Chain A
C-alpha cells in the first residue's frame, strides 16, 4: 500500500470501536467459512434422539437443535455463509453498475448527465422492494438471480456518490493533461477518474454489504429467498420466530448471529468513513 493509505490506516487503528468490530467480523466470517466444514454434523442431518434440544454441554449439540433435530450451530453458520455470499456478490454487482454509471454521467456532463440523473431520480422514486419481490416470483427461486436482482436495485446511491466526486475531479489539471496528451474518453474514465473515486466507493460498499444481507434475510423471511434444505439467516429467523414460546434458542442463535454481524459491519463502515474522510468526522 502506498503512502496515501497510511494516514487513514492510522486513524482507523486509533478507533477502538472499529478495530473491535473488524475483529468480530473476521471471527464471524471465518466461523462461517470453516465452521460447517469442521463440524461433525451436516446441515441436513436429523438427530431423532435430540429433537428441539436445549442448548448446553449435556449433549453434543452445544447450541441446541431445531424441530427436526438438526444441529442449530451448523445451520446458523451455513446460513451465515449463504447470507455473506449474497451480500458480497450483490454488493459487487451494485458497485460495478453504480461506479460505471456515475463515472460516465459525471465525466460526460451536459445533456447526457441530466438524462442519466433523471433516470436515477425516477428509479429512486419507485418502491424497489416490490420489483425485487416480483423479480423473485417471476424468475423462480434461483440463488444466482437473487444475487443479481438485489444488486440491480442497490446501485442508485452509489451512482450518485460517484457522479458527485467525478464532477469535481473532471475540473482538475491532471484530467486536462490527459485530454491534452490525447487519451480517449474511455481511457480517462477508467485510468484517471475511477481510481480517484475509490475512497468514498469503498466506504459506501462497506455500508452496502450489511444493507444487502439485511435485505436478503428479509426476502428469505418472507419465503422468497433461499429455499430448504439450505437456509440463510433470514429463513432460520423465520423458523425460530414461529417456535419462540417453546424453543426460544431456535430464534436466538441465528438472530443473535445476524444482529452481531450487521452491527459490526455497520460500526466498521462508519469507522472507515471517518478514517478516509476526516472532514465528515466530528
Chain B
C-alpha cells in the first residue's frame, strides 16, 4: 500500500514540473510585459525595473533562477502588487478559497451520495424520476448563472442572506456561493451513485446478504456502498477541477477575497510570478486530489492493490 502510494507520488512530481515549464514559457510568449502602461516609461526607468526583476537576462537564465527559487519554496515577488511577494498574496486569499471549496465539495459528496442511494432504492418510482430530473437541471446550470439567481431570490427578494460581500468568520456570507458551487458536482455525484448502486444491488452477493436476513440498511452500509462508490471516486478529481474553475467566477460575483481573481488578473497584467504561483497551487491541489482518489480506489476495491 505504502509502495503503491509512493509510486503514484513519484509520478506526480514530473507532471508538476511539466506544468511549471509549460506555463513559464507560455505566459512569457504573450505579447506585452508586466511594466507596460498607457504612457510608456522612460527607457532608463524601464531598464532599471527590468534589471531589478531579472527580466533583462536571457529567458533560460530566468527559468533556471525561477526553478531554483521554487526549490526553496520561494514564489518570487509580484510584478503588479509592488510591495508583496506572491507567497504573501496567495497566503492571504487561499484560506477563503480553500474554505469555500472544501465546504462545497463536502456538501456535494454528502448530499449527492445520499440522494443517489435514495433514488436507487426507489428505482423507477416517482421519487426516483423527480430527483433524477432535478439532477439534470443541476448539471446543466452553471454556477455563474445559479449564483446570481440564488442571490436574486434569497438575497434581494427574501432578504434571508447577503447577496455578496465577506466578513471574517461569517458563515452567512458563504452559504449562497457554496450552494452555487456545489450544485453541478452534487447532481453529477447523485447520478453516479444511483447508477453504481443499481448495478451492485442486482449482483448475487447482495441477493445472498438479503437472503440470509440482514436488514436493508446493513446490506447497504456493509456490502453495497463500497463497490457502488467506485465511479464516484473516479469523479473526485474532475469534481475538484469543476469547483476550482467555478470558484474563479463565484468569488468575483460574491465579492469574496479569495485567490481566484489573481489567476485571470495576473494573466491579463502579465504578472508572471503571480500567475505561476496560482497555477502551481491549483495544479498541486488537483494532482493531490488525483492521489487521494487513487488511494480510495485501492481501499474500495482490493483488486486495484494487487493488479500492480
Interface residues of A (CB under 8 A from B): 17, 122, 125-127, 129-131, 133-135, 137-138, 140, 210, 214, 217-218, 221-224, 234, 237-238, 240-241, 244-245, 248, 251-252, 255, 258-259, 262-263, 265-267, 270, 282
B46 within 8 A of A: no
Most buried by B among A127, A138, A140, A263: A127
Tell me which residues across on chain A come within 8 A of B13, comparing CB atoms. none
Chain B: minimal CB distance from A1 (Å) = 28
Flag the segment in B61-69, B71-79, B137-145, B213-221 that touches A. B137-145
Chain A: minimal CB distance from B226 (Å) = 22
**A134-B140 in contact (CB<8A):** no
Chain A: minimal CB distance from B17 (Å) = 12
| Complex alpha-carbon distance, A251 and B163, angstroms | 14
Most buried by A among B198, B241, B267: B267
Tell me which residues across on chain A come within 8 A of B139, comparing CB atoms. 266
| Complex alpha-carbon distance, A27 and B36, angstroms | 48
**A133-B263 in contact (CB<8A):** yes
**B163-A244 in contact (CB<8A):** yes
| Complex alpha-carbon distance, A222 and B247, angstroms | 12
Tell me which residues across on chain B come within 8 A of A245, comparing CB atoms. 156, 163
Interface residues of B (CB under 8 A from A): 15, 18-19, 22-23, 26-27, 29-31, 133, 136-137, 139-142, 144-145, 147-149, 151-152, 156, 163, 198, 241, 244-245, 248-249, 252-253, 263-264, 267-268, 279, 282-283, 286-287, 290
**B282-A255 in contact (CB<8A):** no
| Complex alpha-carbon distance, A263 and B31, angstroms | 39
Tell me which residues across on chain A come within 8 A of B252, comparing CB atoms. 222
| Complex alpha-carbon distance, A17 and B29, angstroms | 48
Nearest 7 pairs of A and B residues by beta carbon? A263-B140, A138-B30, A262-B140, A241-B148, A266-B140, A137-B267, A134-B26
| Complex alpha-carbon distance, A234 and B29, angstroms | 27
With A127-B283, A131-B26, A255-B149 as given contacts, are A248 and B156 in contact (CB-CB < 8 Å)?
yes
Chain A: minimal CB distance from B183 (Å) = 12
Most buried by B among A122, A130, A140: A130
Tell me which residues across on chain B come within 8 A of A263, comparing CB atoms. 136-137, 140-141
Tell me which residues across on chain A come within 8 A of B137, comparing CB atoms. 263
| Complex alpha-carbon distance, A214 and B146, angstroms | 13
**A127-B286 in contact (CB<8A):** yes
Partner of B23, one of A122, A130, A255, A266: A130
Chain B, residue nearest A258 (CB): B145
**B249-A222 in contact (CB<8A):** yes
Chain B: minimal CB distance from A250 (Å) = 10
Tell me which residues across on chain B come within 8 A of A240, comparing CB atoms. 148
| Complex alpha-carbon distance, A214 and B268, angstroms | 22
| Complex alpha-carbon distance, A218 and B263, angstroms | 14
| Complex alpha-carbon distance, A129 and B141, angstroms | 18
Partner of A222, one of B19, B152, B244, B248: B248
Tell me which residues across on chain A come within 8 A of B286, comparing CB atoms. 125, 127
**B279-A130 in contact (CB<8A):** yes
Partner of B152, one of A131, A237, A251: A251
